[in-house]
Structure 1
Amino acid sequence: MLGFRQIPMFSWVGLLSIVCVGILSLIYILHTFFRNKSSSLQLPPGPFGLPIIGHVHHMLGDLPHHNLHKLSQKYGSIMQLRLGHVPTVVVSSPEAAELFLKTHDTNFASRPQNLGGDTGGMGSAQYGPYWRNLRKLCSIHLLSMSKVDSFKSLRKDKVRDLVRNINKASSAESAEGGGVVDMSNQVGLVIENITYGMIFGVDYINKGYNIKECIRDAEILAGAFNLADYITFLRPFDLQGLTKRTKDVIKNLDDMLEKIIVEHEHDMIGQQKDHRDFIDVMLSLMKPEKDNEEKLDRGTVKALTLDMLAGAMDTTITAIDWVLAELVRHPQVMKKIQEELVNEVGLNRMVEESDLVKLAYMEMVVKETLRLHPVAPLLIPHESIEDISIKGYHIAKRSRIIVNVWSVGRDPNAWSNNPEEFYPERFMNTDIDVRGHDLQLIPFGAGRRKCPGIELGLRQVQFVLAQLVHCFNWELPDGMSPRDLDMKEKFGVTVRRAIPLLLVPTYRLHVNNI
């Protein structure tokens, strides 16, 4: 997505290099000025831009989605910015999102090509046959409901371990903090373990691969603001050093994935086994049974693996953290979920995945949390394939489209007069879902480029959350009031809570054989 982490803008060498491009900058300013003066096409409204950088300064704050929301209140839900050389349209309402992601979806189905963001995977691929083939393969072989169901026992085992760990850590005898548990860390660990099990196989979790560190480095660089992506004549200078750092991280990831793939290939020689993990499935797709079938190459297998790692871990961890925080802030909502769990599951056993379809109120709570706290408040940018007119505004070919999901979820025209309030009951007796059909709630995007792993993500969020709320009562430490819980955001590839969630759990089931 279009993220802007706090990475130093320039190295010392970079600062000196700026002097060398001053003349080019002046030429560009004059070119842009006269080009805009001569244009008779009506562009969407927007604020006045600065020379060279345009409106980049609006994206450099701690919370760009807030900055863009404030601008949209003044300039409208279809707003034109210029990020360096790049014409950019910001979409901030359900009605506008429908025009770009549904009505004219085909024209906005491509992706801009960033220096550090194109790994060859499905998320960054431009719209065309290559992307369509990847999407089809993933939908059928990796993210289908049958494949999601095939990992049910893995999720059950890992979540059961999570409950045991929390119960142990919260006991007065074993916890120095008087029963306080870092739930952000605990949730992170269980989702990481589930993800590694699905992608690499359970045996790969403890084989010494620094998967977590490599993915974190890749996410930081993917979320960093690279000025050269927007002021193209700066690309050869690598003023921020991001291109070199990105190449180093990609090489480390490539080496690690190559070792894992080779080990999988050796394990598969002469064996007729079920494909227990994603690597096995993708390796089988490198050798199609029929000559006319599409197949994957080695580079694409690695790229898709990175897509799966990034998409399955951080987003799920962040979503669960936000939901649990909102439940602690709203004890009456927590009580309603627990009552529903008692009625549907009882206190004599843990939650099974088959129980999730009966937990209607919990589903409303998840929807409400994703409305207020979308994990990716600015969707991965789209790019226009051809010139087009939207509501009388000219949108040029190769314009960048940023959908501010954070704004969409707060539109008073869609969410009545209390869009800032956490109120799950607003979804009662409605069929609004999060799968891209209803444009007022699109945390996973909509149209052709919506997240292909929606079902897997929702299953994991709901199952982990249901288990935590069913097995434990939760309180804040040191007598803290729910309203005092810090809900500040930390902007990055995903928008997490800035402060780890520290809670005091009390086991509540009638059985101890967990």
Structure 2
Amino acid sequence: MLPILLGKVGNMSLATIQTRSMTSCSGLSLATLVMMATLLLFFLKKNKNAVPQTGQFPPGPATLPFVGNMHQMIWNKPAVFRWIHRLLKEMNTDILCLRLGATHVIAVTSPEIACEVLRKNDEVFASRPITFASGSFSYGYKGSILSPHGEQWKKMRRVLASEVLAPSMEQKVQHIREEEYDHLVRYINKTSCCSSEAIVDVRHVSRHFCGDMIRRLVFGKRYFSNLPASATSGPGHDELAHVAALFTLLNHVYSFCVSDYFPALQGLDLEGHEMVSRDVMRTINRLHDPIIEDRIRERSNSIQSRAEKKEARDFLDVLVYLEDAQGQPLLSREDIRAQTTEIMFAIIDNPSNAVEWALAEMINRPEVMQKAINELDMVVGKERLVQESDISQLNYLKSCIREAFRMHPYHPFNPPHVAMADTTVAGYTIPKGSHVILSRFGLGRNPKIWVEPLEFRPERHLNAANVLLTEPGLRFISFSTGRRGCPGISLGTSVTMMLIARMLQGFTWTKPPGVHSIDLQESKIGLALAEPLVLRAKPRLPAHLYGPIECM
């Protein structure tokens, strides 16, 4: 089995990672592979005419002893989600049961069943799986997103919801968000004006806007370097490595790794996931740890000098300065490391992906683009830049983003919910320990729910006086719901909406020379655009709103 590795981590190329992974396989791992292959061939011949499982579990394909459907999952890598959705379609069901080793994995594409999972049975499904990647990325399950149900998760969830993402804290850091919105406009203006064809890589801009934003909110600094930065400067080497590491983390955290279902195989690194996880954490620790350590020392010095307690400047201040009832630090160093990393990767993918897809769809449908621009001109005008306070009135633009969330999620599935007890969903028995995965892909494109689901139609969401990006009925998933729902709905809405609003208000976007239409092909291994969206951008507002241009 060749390692399946995606992208780059820090300075390490895909070819380097593959070479290292292949050469690191020991004789034991090769023997294990041969043994597994022999067992699979034996069971395949013996069970060639096996019939689909019947009874109390949800419908699913025939399984083999010991491995279940693992052999099929391996054969369908790396795009396992496409195989799962193909099975759902072939079996004409909205709930599917796979068995990967001893674990039942239940995929759901029906809003009614999804609500039954996250509302009626929310308490039962409030845990997360134990995997090598999730354990690594959460510093041993110290954070609030990847940790299984338990006291640590409850503590960190409470900290995140009531302290870090509290309305009062969101208000305190509003000036940071405003500065980043302005930086976005200046950076695009510089990029377009300093290019001979005014070409802008929308994926690069949107991903690094999200990276800049979350670094400012968490660490109080856009760049890891302490050197002064220009008002229009782009990401440097460390910032590029940081965003690449975060996306690699997201692509690997719950990626159907064989050893997640056969823990005895952990350490053999048959697919290279363990090496990738370690490389990601090396990059993140190299960049995060010096800032965290400085802040912890600062807190210690302020206690020793009995300095007056100051207001939190950013999210890291909140985490570092929290105290328990005895006046001692509430969070350990590992708690802080875990939570800062989780905040980072929670904000970076969905806003950037939704905006890239929305612009791609709108370029191919000029009438949709024009309606959004007309709304911005009517609500905001051209004499000032759009602000967060305008979002409530931008219903058509919010509908465009809702449609992007519906049609084009970054992740095929929500993070798995683990059943903490035997339960029943849709009349089927779900055994304790089962992983339930709600399909973002399947919910948003379910033809039983949506008319012409593959058509980009923002108008289908214009059914309320104030359109919201949330979807309580789970007809698609933006921020999820329940105990594991995203507590940062307000922040996520602001970042997503201001990204697309500033881009549309500030610039006229057109196809590059010689391009008839934007190719909306999805990646073979995921749901992002197969190729980064590249467009021409021309300023459409008075020059003073963009600031000076500093071409090199």
Per the TM superposition, whether the score is higher than 0.5 is yes
Inter-CA distance 149–322: structure 2 relative to 1 (3 Å threshold): farther
Instruction: Give SS of 1:116's match.
Output: helix
1:170 maps to what in 2?
Answer: 192
Contact 2:5 2:273 in 1 (8 A): no
1:429 maps to what in 2?
Answer: 463
Structure 1 position 450, deviation (Å): 1.4
The answer to whether structure 1 residue 498 and structure 2 residue 530 are counterparts is: yes
- Which of 182, 189, 202 matches 1:183? 202
Contact 1:78 1:92 in 2 (8 A): yes
- Kindly report the root-mean-square deviation, in angstroms, between the aligned alpha carbons of the 2 structures: 3.2
Q: Which has the higher contact order (CA 8 A, sep 6+)?
A: 1
Structure 1 position 218, deviation (Å): 3.6
Inter-CA distance 126–216: structure 2 relative to 1 (3 Å threshold): same
1:246 maps to what in 2?
Answer: 277
Structure 1 position 92, deviation (Å): 1.1
2:62 maps to what in 1?
Answer: 48
- For residues 311 and 490 of structure 1, the distance between their equivalents in structure 2, rounded to whole angstroms, comes to 23
- For residues 505 and 244 of structure 1, the distance between their equivalents in structure 2, rounded to whole angstroms, comes to 40
Q: What do the CA deviations read for 1:461-494 (whole angstroms, capped 9, x no partner)?
A: 1011111101111100114233x433323545xx
Inter-CA distance 185–255: structure 2 relative to 1 (3 Å threshold): closer
1:205 maps to what in 2?
Answer: 224
**TM-score, scaled to structure 2:** 0.82
**Equivalent residues in 2 for 1:313-462, closer than 5 Å:** 313-415=348-450, 417-430=451-464, 433-462=468-497
**TM-score, scaled to structure 1:** 0.87
Instruction: Give SS of 1:406's match.
Output: helix
Contact 1:107 1:386 in 2 (8 A): yes
Contact 2:207 2:243 in 1 (8 A): no
- For residues 460 and 446 of structure 1, the distance between their equivalents in structure 2, rounded to whole angstroms, comes to 19
Q: What do the CA deviations read for 1:266-287 (whole angstroms, capped 9, x no partner)?
A: 44433543211111110011x3
- For residues 443 and 116 of structure 1, the distance between their equivalents in structure 2, rounded to whole angstroms, comes to 23
Contact 2:398 2:497 in 1 (8 A): yes
- For residues 16 and 66 of structure 1, the distance between their equivalents in structure 2, rounded to whole angstroms, comes to 29
Instruction: Give SS of 2:535's match.
Output: strand
Inter-CA distance 470–351: structure 2 relative to 1 (3 Å threshold): same
Inter-CA distance 248–328: structure 2 relative to 1 (3 Å threshold): closer
Q: What do the CA deviations read for 1:424-462 (whole angstroms, capped 9, x no partner)?
A: 111122487543522212222222111222221111010
Q: Structure 1 residues 46-55 or 115-124, which shifts more?
A: 46-55
Instruction: Give SS of 1:105's match.
Output: coil
Structure 1 position 157, deviation (Å): 1.9
- Which of 74, 80, 87 matches 2:90? 74
- For residues 268 and 344 of structure 2, the distance between their equivalents in structure 1, rounded to whole angstroms, comes to 31
The answer to whether structure 1 residue 65 and structure 2 residue 81 are counterparts is: yes
Instruction: Give SS of 1:79's match.
Output: strand
Inter-CA distance 183–70: structure 2 relative to 1 (3 Å threshold): same
Inter-CA distance 315–307: structure 2 relative to 1 (3 Å threshold): same
Structure 1 position 86, deviation (Å): 1.7
Structure 1 position 231, deviation (Å): 2.3
Equivalent position amino acid for 2:481 in 1: A
Structure 1 position 144, deviation (Å): 2.3
2:317 maps to what in 1?
Answer: 280
Contact 2:219 2:315 in 1 (8 A): yes
Structure 1 position 187, deviation (Å): 1.9
Contact 1:388 1:394 in 2 (8 A): yes
Equivalent position amino acid for 2:274 in 1: T
Q: Structure 1 residues 344-353 or 9-18, which shifts more?
A: 9-18
Equivalent position amino acid for 1:152 in 2: Q
Equivalent position amino acid for 1:55 in 2: N
For these two proteins, the number of residue pairs brought into alignment is: 498
Equivalent position amino acid for 1:82 in 2: R
Instruction: Give SS of 1:503's match.
Output: strand
Contact 1:53 1:231 in 2 (8 A): no
Structure 1 position 197, deviation (Å): 0.7
2:100 maps to what in 1?
Answer: 83
Q: What do the CA deviations read for 1:346-398 (whole angstroms, capped 9, x no partner)?
A: 11111111111111111111111101012222010111111112233221110
Equivalent position amino acid for 2:456 in 1: F
Contact 2:208 2:243 in 1 (8 A): no
Q: Structure 1 residues 71-80 or 358-367, which shifts more?
A: 71-80
Inter-CA distance 137–326: structure 2 relative to 1 (3 Å threshold): same
Q: What do the CA deviations read for 1:163-202 (whole angstroms, capped 9, x no partner)?
A: 222223223xx313x1111121122222211111111112
Equivalent position amino acid for 2:424 in 1: S
Inter-CA distance 293–45: structure 2 relative to 1 (3 Å threshold): farther
- For residues 487 and 58 of structure 1, the distance between their equivalents in structure 2, rounded to whole angstroms, comes to 24
Identity of matched residues, %: 29
Q: What do the CA deviations read for 1:232-255 (whole angstroms, capped 9, x no partner)?
A: 332353333433553454355445
Equivalent position amino acid for 2:293 in 1: V
Equivalent position amino acid for 2:83 in 1: N
- Which of 146, 161, 164 matches 1:124? 146
- For residues 111 and 238 of structure 1, the distance between their equivalents in structure 2, rounded to whole angstroms, comes to 22
- For residues 132 and 293 of structure 1, the distance between their equivalents in structure 2, rounded to whole angstroms, comes to 19
The answer to whether structure 1 residue 470 and structure 2 residue 505 are counterparts is: yes
- Which of 105, 119, 122 matches 1:105? 122
1:510 maps to what in 2?
Answer: 542
Contact 1:170 1:506 in 2 (8 A): yes
Structure 1 position 97, deviation (Å): 0.7
Q: Structure 1 residues 199-208 or 398-407, which shifts more?
A: 199-208
Q: Structure 1 residues 15-24 or 452-461, which shifts more?
A: 15-24
- For residues 428 and 293 of structure 1, the distance between their equivalents in structure 2, rounded to whole angstroms, comes to 50
- Which of 156, 162, 169 matches 1:134? 156
Q: What do the CA deviations read for 1:397-426 (whole angstroms, capped 9, x no partner)?
A: 1011111111111222322x3111111111
Structure 1 position 89, deviation (Å): 0.8
- For residues 437 and 252 of structure 2, the distance between their equivalents in structure 1, rounded to whole angstroms, comes to 19
Equivalent position amino acid for 1:185 in 2: H
- For residues 360 and 40 of structure 1, the distance between their equivalents in structure 2, rounded to whole angstroms, comes to 47
- Which of 289, 292, 295 matches 1:264? 295
Contact 2:379 2:393 in 1 (8 A): yes
Equivalent position amino acid for 2:258 in 1: L
Gaps of 5+ in 1: none
Inter-CA distance 49–329: structure 2 relative to 1 (3 Å threshold): farther
Inter-CA distance 213–78: structure 2 relative to 1 (3 Å threshold): closer
Inter-CA distance 131–284: structure 2 relative to 1 (3 Å threshold): same
Structure 1 position 203, deviation (Å): 6.5
